[in-house]
Amino acid sequence: MKIRKLYFAIDFSNLDLMTHARKMFGKMRKLLKDADLVSFQISVTLYREGIDEPRTISMKGARSANGAWITRFTRDLESDLPESPEALRSRFSRAQEAVRSYIVDNELSEDWIAIEAELREAMKSGGSVDALEYHAQIPVRAIANYGNDAHLYAPLMATAYLIEGTDALVRNALEHASYCVERARYWSSSEMLIPNPRHRFKERARAGGHGKAANYEPVKARVIELLTELEPDGGWISGREAIDRVADELAGKACVQLVEGCGMEPSNLPRTIGGWVKEQPERFRYRIRPKA
């Protein structure tokens, strides 16, 4: 059987991180669609400043009978017998305390309450940690320290595993609970939690707003175009309708690469575009439908 190895190198300090990562994962996704592929292993090696030994995270996948991929981290596949419920509860508590201490000590409670509530609602509606770990951008952004809310992503991942692991413990699914506690401990470890998160905002403020404004120009230009291209017959019902419709278009597949490549968060687009329109109404023009 032919074994194929691919090596990718990503500079996480590059503003085009998400564009680069998306291309890399696109190549991997294309390979994994090969019906002849029965298993795979993906390894990511993390090099941190001031730490001599790099850390390697590996994930293995095996093709199930119905053709779907069953994925697990290597540590989980090779772990010993599950621990007792009492031992697992103790480890869950330590991970939970690590998250709580990080949020409280860094005065992040106000931001955390909303994002945690959204996570719990998503998990309650059928969301899973595997979907979050393998099919969302949150883990990549957490590791890369990318985005305004990057410091909340590792605690969010840890909390997701705590929620699913606690449920597994209630169902006496000890093997899955053991897997979840390992991942929760990993995401709540000092290596994954971004230190001094408030300092991140001070550094960005110190850099000044002019550099940001220049980075946003390609998005601003597209906003101006979309205000005309997407305008309904007769004009927009309101300014809010125009802003929300343009924001939705920019957050879609066709434009999200442009947005993220300029260092912007798609979720913040309505507020950001609204600010631009308010500050420069002559530049961001749109036509309001006359009242009947």
For the stretch 195-229, pLDDT in tens is 888 776 555 555 554 555 667 888 999 999 999 99
Three-state secondary structure call for residue 282: coil
| pLDDT recorded at residue 62 | 78
Mean pLDDT in residue range 268-274: 90
Looking at per-residue confidence, does 8 or 110 come out higher? 110
pLDDT category, 79, cuts 50, 70, 90?
very low
Tens digits of per-residue pLDDT, 107-166? Answer: 899 889 988 998 999 888 888 887 888 777 788 778 777 777 889 999 999 999 999 999
pLDDT of residue 94: 94
CA distance 62 to 38: 6
The confidence score (pLDDT) of residue 267 equals 84
Instruction: Give the mean pLDDT of 163-192.
Output: 90
Q: What percent of the chain has pLDDT over 70?
A: 77
What pTM, to 2 d.p., does this model score? 0.50
Instruction: Round the average pLDDT of the chain to a whole number and report it.
Output: 79
**What pLDDT was estimated at residue 166?**
93
